[in-house]
Amino acid sequence: MEQRKLLRKYTKSIQVLQYFKNIQQDALIKDVREIPEIFHLDHFQNYYVHSALKKENPNVEISISDHAFARWNERVSTESNITELTNKLNYLNQSLSRIDFATPSVGVIDNDIVFTYVQLDLSVIVTTFYGRISQKHVLANFENLQHFNMIEDDSVDLQLNDELLDKLVTLPLPAQRMIFKGSQARYVLDEFRDVHRSLFILTVESSTKKQLKFFYSDRLQNVELEHSVRKALTIMGHEALVFKQIEEQYSLTH
């Protein structure tokens, strides 16, 4: 059966709600196989589903103090440019809903990176970064940060060594995101890329469940996809991948 007929048979129409394509010039990641660990997908699926399906996030403009930028490079990851980091944070907040302003003074990025801030109208100023919960577990109880001096925090031992800082990915950004609706569910499909493969993270929200799954473009064995998800992938430019996945799922031959 020719490819076009297969695609018509195993895909169906969707309603595209939002589509961000090539949303960051530096979206290419060194190795997308690190992403599941970075997002703790095996243990924090509920968080990723919540952030991906969140309807909106405060439409504020984030800026970073010089003090906070210095702490980022000591406690979070290496970032050479404060402007680039600022742009990433605004994108994470406004488009990807991956920043949680958990209290009036403490925020968390990707359920991991803890920072303090002050807000003036629609302007948020990050005053310091305390670090990563995944590396400094004491930060998990971030409500207690109010007992620390939120600006002059040098006495708190939260610094990471240079070797670890160099290994930690700053902020993984998807190369593409599509939010769409099928007949029974709402989906968010993120594509992360490196030079060898893509990682797709799919979140699904229906009347009965919220779930997350992820798969790689070069590992389609045992990957089962809905007709609507295949349609989204073809719109995102992955028609050949969809055809291969159909062959794998339904044990078809050329």
Q: Considering the domain boundaries, does residue 135 fall inside one?
A: yes
- Render pLDDT for 50-109 as a digit per residue (tens, 0 to 9): 666 565 556 899 999 999 999 999 999 888 899 999 999 998 888 888 898 888 889 999
Q: Considering the domain boundaries, does residue 159 fall inside one?
A: yes
Clarify whether residues 182 and 230 are in a common domain.
yes
Query: Do 253 and 201 contact (CB within 8 A), yes or no?
Result: no
Alpha-carbon span 174 to 53, nearest angstrom? 15
Q: Considering the domain boundaries, does residue 233 fall inside one?
A: yes
Close Cβ partners of 224 (under 8 Å, ≥ 6 residues apart): 249
Residue that is last in its domain, among 147, 167, 187: 167
Residue that is last in its domain, among 116, 142, 167: 167
Residue numbers of the chain with a pLDDT score lower than 50: 150-152, 154
Residue that is last in its domain, among 110, 140, 167: 167
Close Cβ partners of 221 (under 8 Å, ≥ 6 residues apart): 248
Rounded (5°) CA angle 67-85-49: 115
Bridge partners for 115 per DSSP: 107, 129
Q: Considering the domain boundaries, does residue 49 fall inside one?
A: no
Q: What would you report as the CA-atom Rg of the chain, rounded to the nearest whole angstrom?
A: 20
Q: Please count the structural domains in the chain.
A: 2
- Under DSSP, the state recorded for 235 is H
Clarify whether residues 85 and 177 are in a common domain.
no
Domain around 65 = 61-167
Query: Which CATH number does the domain housing residue 120 bear?
Result: 3.30.2310
Q: Considering the domain boundaries, does residue 44 fall inside one?
A: no
pLDDT given for residue 178 in this prediction? 94
pLDDT given for residue 151 in this prediction? 46
Clarify whether residues 93 and 184 are in a common domain.
no
Clarify whether residues 162 and 238 are in a common domain.
no
Q: How many CB atoms lie within 10 A of CB 40?
A: 16
